[in-house]
Chain A
Amino acid sequence: MSTAAKTVTAPGTDQITSFTFGELLSSRTVIGQTLKELGETHDNLWVLTPDIGATLVEFRDTYPDRFVDVGLSEQACVGIAAGLANEGNIPVVSGMLPFLSMRALEQVRSDICYPNLPVKIVGTHGGLVGNGGSTHYAVEDLGLMTSLVNMTVTSIGDPLMVGEVLRQSMAMTGPLYIRLAVGKKDKVVYEPGSVQIEIGKGITAREGTDLTLFAHGETVSQALDAAGILAREHGINARVVDMFTLKPIDEDLILRCAEETGRFVVVEDHLTYGGLASQIADVIADRGIRLDGFRRLGIPQVFAGFGEDTELRDKHGYGLQATVDAALAVTA
């Protein structure tokens, strides 16, 4: 991770000619371009949406025979994807996560997970983002998805990583869930090629020895900012782990972080129970790990209300300052 602005070309994304590292890029655009690229190498790749996804236009225009917009019908959309997968296709369902993870939950579970079909669900509005209010925030989706047998669950903040995960997912034989925030302007966290991205493996976004900050999605940038403040202002050396795969969870990395740093703070844009903190706490309990400190930051048991994402994170106690404070508390 470097903060210097420089212009590079992302591997495998020729269409995204260049971007300035550290700047903002649209994950939705990356998804659109990656799907178009994958459509060429995988003639059984389909894209489905329930009236969402203006950025799927490139795929739609290039492969109209493998694109379906069913309109406002999330349940049918997921069921149709399962039907296509049954016939040997690789369907990607793109939409808004509150509706894909909840309205279509039974279709996801019984039509996709039960027969273990390679359907990918990718969507936006994971967490308190977009200012739509509680109908439009997916805040329990990771709890729902991680509880489904056969489901692989990811949450991604870096737009280029979304493309990479989609590419890797072509070889998967079971279902995959990809969670994004708004996906319009996302921080490029990793310089392309600077980190190994592999589904099922956490990424150490910053080395450190005093504690580990675990995060996923957009809170990775926030954790990195917090680590910067901790180093500059408090002489605390925080490790930051991007646990972008929540299931299967990278147990080895958790064990290593426990051994090497001894203290954990988990920060995520999700209810504090059911998400990453719960996954990590399960590993700690099951493996009998003794930690010197553990804090979970996320959305408490409230329907969060309206406001911008950073305001809501501050209001509900998992913003930047709260992350710094929690790190100070566990290392005190």
Chain B
Amino acid sequence: MAATITRPETDVSELEDLSYELREKLLLLCGEYDGSVHIGGDLSCADILTLLFQYGMHVDPQDLRNPERDRFVLSKGHAAVCMYITMAIRGFFDYREIVDTYGQLGSAYGMHPCKVQLPGVEVSTGSLGHGLPLATGMALHGKRSGMDHRVFTLMGDGETGEGSVWEAALAAHSNNLGNLVAFIDRNRQLMTSFSEERVKLEPYPDKWRAFGWNVIEVDGHDMAALVQAFDSLPAPDSDVPTVVICDTVKGKGVDFMERNLAWHAGSLNDTDLARALASLAHGRKAA
């Protein structure tokens, strides 16, 4: 499988450390940048992105166009900076450059990822509901060409209100795309409401099952469980697409951001940054 690209040999505790590093770097950027950062949804998917980039995916920062690489589509494009930093930790980009140029005129590192400006990013996203159709097309190519890499995507739970998601779900199942894996950041929050309050997504796993998908449910902040879920993915040459529904907390790791609608996006002044970092460190000690 993906013979020329090897996966990193990270164990669970190393992955936990890398996740911590990611969250810390996210907060530091949020403190340094003047504008608003989608910090809530960044923190909720930090462990998932760590799992994918530091453990699961066959990708090579030195060989971006290798046809055997696994593909990643950040469908919830507003978590771009979380992806940039994860990829920087893996060696794709330079963290300092991200912090120094984020959101500025001419920067490749913007609020939503742009593949034209930033090689290494597979697709440009930001408008929600586009990632699954795109990933389905990429997986269809892999499948029909007899290749054995996988195509991964990460969606927000609110995002799956878009009809295009379900149209692609139907197509992926209809075309037997066992090489397609969709992670869902099920943090139970949209931008302005909690899920089930105005938008009833439940019974959520059943919706995916009804569309013919293989469903894995996992605690999206438990690294051991995430690794186990990844290891149990069906082989890429199997015939059923998989959705990994990750039970997460928006703002995870920072007490005053967790499950707080005010922190879908925001910026941190020095005092709040110190509070946020302290809360993150405290959470680690407790764990």
Contacts and interface: CB of A to CB of B under 8 A. Distances in A.
Contacts, number: 95
Specify which of A51, A53, A134 lies most central, judged by the most chain B CB atoms within 10 Å of its CB.
Answer: A51
A75 B163 contact: yes
Nearest to A314: B105
Given A71-B158, A72-B128, A51 B110 contact: no
A52 interface: yes
Interface stretch (A222-230, A288-296, A305-313): A305-313
A1 B111 CA distance: 37
Interface in B100-123: 103-107, 109-112, 114, 116-117
Interface residues of B, number: 33
Nearest to A69: B198
Contacts of A49: 192
Interface string A34-50: 00000000000000011
Contacts of B281: none
A50 B199 CA distance: 10
Contacts of B126: 132-136
A103 B126 CA distance: 13
B158 A103 contact: no
A71 B198 contact: yes
A49 B161 CA distance: 13
A177 interface: no
Given A305-B106, A306-B105, A133 B114 contact: yes
A143 interface: no
A306 B110 contact: yes
Interface string A97-128: 01100010000000000000000000000000
Interface in A239-260: none
A72 B103 contact: no
A307 B160 CA distance: 29
B224 to A, nearest CB: 32
Interface residues of A, number: 31
Contacts of A72: 128-129, 156, 158-162, 190
Given A71-B158, A73-B162, A135-B77, A312 B105 contact: yes
Contact of B161 (A52, A54, A71, A99): A71
B128 A136 contact: no
Interface in B6-33: none
A70 interface: yes
B192 A76 contact: no
Interface in B143-171: 156, 158-163
A331 interface: no
B127 A103 contact: yes
Contacts of A103: 127, 129
Given A72-B159, A103-B127, A135-B77, A308 B198 contact: no
A306 B107 contact: yes
Contact of B35 (A131, A134, A136): A131
A315 interface: yes
A51 B105 contact: no
Contact of B110 (A53, A71, A133, A315): A133
A131 B163 contact: no
B70 to A, nearest CB: 24
A97 to B, nearest CB: 12
A131 B103 contact: yes
B66 interface: no
9 contacts: A51-B190, A52-B192, A71-B199, A134-B114, A136-B112, A306-B103, A307-B103, A308-B105, A312-B105
Given A132-B110, A311-B105, 6 more contacts: A71-B198, A72-B161, A135-B127, A303-B116, A306-B105, A307-B106
